[in-house]
């Protein structure tokens, strides 16, 4: 390893114009303007979670971040959101540095972003998705290994990172299971240009998550963290709680009824019309081999997550989490988190000599 003090200044820092190669990922309800501002002012790069917002809220949030920081940040959204085209135009109008997204990327919108100089940074959980993302024009790819929070694949981070690095030529960022400087150094040594963290940023004093829910994350052990596809039809890593146990026991009919009820709440919350809701479900069905009940669950999973992450009712909602929550037992500010991570990373470089 090079002892060069610039070791921590990677291509990611140049591309995103940030001080450190650390990304705060988008987490629905969690990656709010305050979390983003706290991250970018501390030298990282933050993504605003716009997939659970109406366009007017996204616009307001962007303005709020710009008012509180001169640093760059990104916006995360789904191409299958009914207002996706308006979000694409808003991001371009506001000259946002980067967008992140997951499933079902839209080729035409990616071309629009690239023409406007907005960096496209998809997250993938498998090599074939990375190849597809690169073909569609990704500028940077975030790989999320199976240890990661929220939707997650089957391949562990180290393995996936190695496979994707061998397969694509764009810079790759590692996500899934990171919390400290040792992890950062290990990812850089393996060839990543940086790390992205969700759970660790969610477990900070800058997180908007209510104390009642954060205390569950602080208490959780690794064997209380599970992966289920019963929640929204896709592999989702979550804390096993009363709600998850209930849906795991539920029949398909009961799940469908639950999904329908939640769809109505989601529709009102995000300003969908019934037509939008149906279109959104169909768009997901077209892109993913989901069953109808699962597609409906997927469309409205934000409502269930909202219960825990916004309303502070941890037993009634879903709590997405990375496995790393089982190892985190303190809340730091984003600034202290990033500073300690960089300090640890530098110490670990120096200790090698």
Ligand X SMILES: Cc1cc2nc3c(=O)[nH]c(=O)nc-3n(C[C@H](O)[C@H](O)[C@H](O)COP(=O)(O)O)c2cc1C
- 82 near ligand X, judged by CB under 6 A: no
Piece of the chain touching ligand X by CB under 6 A; list 10-18, 79-87, 108-116, 174-182:
174-182
**β partners of residue 237:** 150, 227
Angstrom distance (rounded) from CA 91 to CA 74: 9
Backbone phi, then psi, for 15, in 5-degree steps?
-65, -40
- 25 near ligand X, judged by CB under 6 A: yes
Best CA proximity match to 40, nearest among 7, 4, 89, 75 = 75
Which residues between 41 and 70 bind ligand X (CB under 6 A)?
49, 51
Piece of the chain touching ligand X by CB under 6 A; list 88-96, 147-155, 161-169, 224-232:
147-155
Best CA proximity match to 108, nearest among 140, 81, 85 = 85
- 322 near ligand X, judged by CB under 6 A: yes
What is residue 177's DSSP assignment?
Answer: S
Piece of the chain touching ligand X by CB under 6 A; list 170-178, 181-189, 288-296, 335-343:
170-178
Binder of ligand X out of 119, 121, 175, 188 (CB under 6 A) = 175
DSSP three-state, residue 101: strand
Considering the complex, what minimum distance in angstroms separates the CB of residue 349 from ligand X? 22
Work out the burial of residue 225: count CB atoms within 10 Å of its CB; fewer than 13 is exposed, 13-18 middle, 19 or more buried. buried
Q: Which DSSP string do the residues of 249-315 spell out, in sequence order? A: H--HHHHHHHHHHHHHHHHHHHT--HHHHHHHHHHHHHHS---HHHHHHHHHHHHHHHHHHTS--TT
Binder of ligand X out of 91, 202, 290, 298 (CB under 6 A) = 202
Which is nearer to ligand X, 15 or 324 (by Cβ)? 324
Considering the complex, what minimum distance in angstroms separates the CB of residue 309 from ligand X? 6
Which is nearer to ligand X, 51 or 160 (by Cβ)? 51
Residues near ligand X, by CB under 6 A: 25-28, 30, 49, 51, 76, 102, 123, 144, 147-150, 175-178, 197-200, 202, 320-322, 324
């Amino acid at each position: 390893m090079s002892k060069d003090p610039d070791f921590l200044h990677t291509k990611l820092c140049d591309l995103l114009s940030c001080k450190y190669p650390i990304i705060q990922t988008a987490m629905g309800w969690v990656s709010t303007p305050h979390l983003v501002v706290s991250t970018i002012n501390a030298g990282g790069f933050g993504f605003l979670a716009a997939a659970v917002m109406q366009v007017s809220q996204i616009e307001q949030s962007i303005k709020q971040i710009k008012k509180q920081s001169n640093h760059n940040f990104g916006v995360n959204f789904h191409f299958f959101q009914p207002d996706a085209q308006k979000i694409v135009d808003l991001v371009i109008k506001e000259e946002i540095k980067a967008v992140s997204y997951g499933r079902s990327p839209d080729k035409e919108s990616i071309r629009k972003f690239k023409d406007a100089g907005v960096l496209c940074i998809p997250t993938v959980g498998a090599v074939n998705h990375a190849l597809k993302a690169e073909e569609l024009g990704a500028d940077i790819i975030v790989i999320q290994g199976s240890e990661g929070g929220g939707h997650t694949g089957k391949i562990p981070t180290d393995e996936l990172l190695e496979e994707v690095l061998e397969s694509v030529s764009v810079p790759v960022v590692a996500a899934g299971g990171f919390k400290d400087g040792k992890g950062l150094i290990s990812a850089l040594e393996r060839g990543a240009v940086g790390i992205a963290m969700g759970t660790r940023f969610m477990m900070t004093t800058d997180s908007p998550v209510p104390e009642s829910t954060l205390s569950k994350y602080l208490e959780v052990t690794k064997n209380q963290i599970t992966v289920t596809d019963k929640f929204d039809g896709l592999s989702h890593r979550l804390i096993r709680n009363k709600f998850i146990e209930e849906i795991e026991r539920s029949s398909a009919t009961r799940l469908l009824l639950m999904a329908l009820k939640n769809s109505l709440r989601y529709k009102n919350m995000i300003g969908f019309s019934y037509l939008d809701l149906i279109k959104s479900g169909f768009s997901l069905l077209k892109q993913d081999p989901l069953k109808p009940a699962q597609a409906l669950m997927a469309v409205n999973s934000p409502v269930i997550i909202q219960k825990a992450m916004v309303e502070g009712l941890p037993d009634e909602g879903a709590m997405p989490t990375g496995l790393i929550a089982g190892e985190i037992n303190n809340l730091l500010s984003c600034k202290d988190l990033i500073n300690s991570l960089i300090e640890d990373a530098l110490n670990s470089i120096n200790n090698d000599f």
